[in-house]
Structure 1
């Protein structure tokens, strides 16, 4: 039997920091196992061994949570690519992989539901379809042993509230973390200030509320100070002029960089370190990175909090590089190399 792991709610109450590595969609797209556009995690069925390895990489780098890769593995997205028959299979497989790694590493396992892309305010038919999407994914997460459920990337107060309602109704008492995803303003798509949305979610019983995705560290700071305590930005250098990663322009062509030309806009590890310390000063406890995240960024967050995850064994140490060594330390030191040029 795996060791009992301290729960999410208990950690939050005890003032502990919780690092949550997200970003699976972009990372598998970058590696050639997922198509940009539909962004459906078919890799879960086609290469489950790679999904497990990525879970392990993120934990190795410092993540406290293994998040099941069920983002966009819902009914509507699978319909777009003609794989509706794989709906339950892909969800259960993703959940089992996450549970397996969480048990092996004594970390928490989170189920995941996401924005549905079909929700519309004041559209009862869309609301019922959204409710069904949430219901079935939540029930599978419960059956496969999730420790809590993440509802993420909501741009409408209504969809975020519906996600929480469904977790409370179908989640068998599992805690809910709900994160909003504003693009360029501090108001939801249905016209409600983010601070009010966060308060609505807290009052309705969410264990943790915050912001994820779209904004990079430089444009998320002003939003997170308005109240939410979870913060998972993209690691891109968004600006006041281009507040969201979807607004960033390719520096060569001037065309939209999203999604395939975003690399020039990536933050440095130093910026992730600085931002993590900024979050700590604000009092954010639940933190991580979303689309664009890679294991070395997660390690940077962990080290900024004073941790030494297993990956820290391999953190850069340029004192061991030949260019910084003296003749006594290294037979072929930089000084000798350049003096012979």
Structure 2
């Protein structure tokens, strides 16, 4: 009998792991299979939540997930690569987004041209065989730079150039020019995608520049001042390049629009109210200093006020009660006297 009880207890314990798929709720839950989301409007059981929080939340989560899985199995299913797949319906709940939906990327000029001509993008080989070096060379990256440096260890100077020309530096400059040109094209693509007007660039190459390109570049360079070239001096018989106006040189420059009289009146009233409502700032210390300075100047101008305050004039005579001393027998030749007169 003890063995039978142990087997039954073990079986009951194993059955507790596999609960029934039928879940009953006081209020019907809202299931959105498109988002694989479920909303449970039922209230919490405060007593069960207070007794054991973790176990209560675990049981609640299992029940809601079971309801969601039951709804998925009610959908139409099919077998795909030895897997059972259910086709989800359209979502019924509108989820808020933190950001706007991503816009499709605007194609570049080359992508538009390739699409029109039917040119397909081909994956570039990582390595190609170089007959001159006799080994596999990378088509991009630092390994290609090393291979080019090993391959072009000497460069021939053309006959139409100076024999002392540094061909390595010239090759480096041409590469920098290509990089700058690609960067300008990339920035133009970004500006066109964001619908931003950019000024025309006077960038021309020394080798592939025509007379028209040089004329356009010179006009743009002279117009790159604050006055748009108004005060720039012109050479004799010099003319501006055709097709270049102020609007093309300065993006966003448009003609001034006339203002509606009612709008102009409201703007003027707003300015007047702003001026009338503006309160002046009073500096008490500065006002006290000004008042003291004015009082001091007034006392200096009025002599009666000076006498009251006890101030003395520069030319006032000094009187003393002491008797002046005589010459004490000393003659003073400056006064012209010959001495004491005898009788």
Q: Smaller-chain TM-score range?
A: under 0.3
Alignment TM-score, normalising by the size of structure 2: 0.16
Q: Which has the higher contact order (CA 8 A, sep 6+)?
A: 1
Greater share of residues in strand: 1
